[in-house]
Amino acid sequence: MKGARTGLVTLSLALALTGCKVVDTGDKAQADGAPAGPPPPPPHQMRAEMAAGDRLHTTMSGEDLFSNRCGACHLDWGMGTNLITKQQVALGRPPSMGLLTNRDDLTADYVKSVVRMGKNAMPRQTRVDVTDAELDKIAAYLGKGK
């Protein structure tokens, strides 16, 4: 039971610290003395739009491609962000590292490997989901660890 409560507080803290904007939705469950769950989720974060053109030879930036192709799970309060936040916190890193764009330890090769091979809950992405040209740009954008 102690573990459960600690887990809750950790997740709550972790999500609060990822830099998510918190909206007051009037969560009365907390007011009547229930244990504090995670703070209310933030608004949907809009993804960058896909530019028209040949996706096999993309002219879009890595930043925009990451936002559009990976944004379903890896922006604020996305499924991927939530799970990675928990993993990073367990490793003693700050919760903000749940957002891939904040990570400074990713390499381009690692990003490519996880996108194509998958990892834990992360499914493998097809070349329709993300083309090789798009993945090159995304990997270069996220791969700050060189």
Using the rule CB under 8 A, which residue among 3, 91, 92, 104 binds other proteins?
A: 3
Taking CB under 8 A as the rule, does residue 114 contact other proteins? no
Q: How far apart are alpha carbons 50 and 85 in whole angstroms?
A: 27
Of 109 and 120, the one with the shorter C-beta distance to other proteins is 120
Name residue, tokens 């270069």. Answer: 140
Least CB distance to other proteins at residue 104 (A): 25
> What are the backbone angles phi and psi of residue 20, rounded to the nearest 5°?
-70, 140
Residues 34-93 that bind other proteins (CB under 8 A): 34-35, 37-38, 40-47, 49, 55-56, 71-73, 76-79, 82-83, 86
> What are the backbone angles phi and psi of residue 119, rounded to the nearest 5°?
-160, 125
Least CB distance to other proteins at residue 143 (A): 20
Closest by CA to 75, choosing from 137, 128, 111, 21, is: 21
Taking CB under 8 A as the rule, does residue 117 contact other proteins? yes
CA distances from 17 to 80, 91, 105, 116, 140 (A): 16, 16, 19, 30, 26
Residues at the interface with other proteins (CB under 8 A): 1, 3-4, 7-8, 11, 23, 25-26, 28-29, 32-35, 37-38, 40-47, 49, 55-56, 71-73, 76-79, 82-83, 86, 116-118, 120-121, 123-129, 131
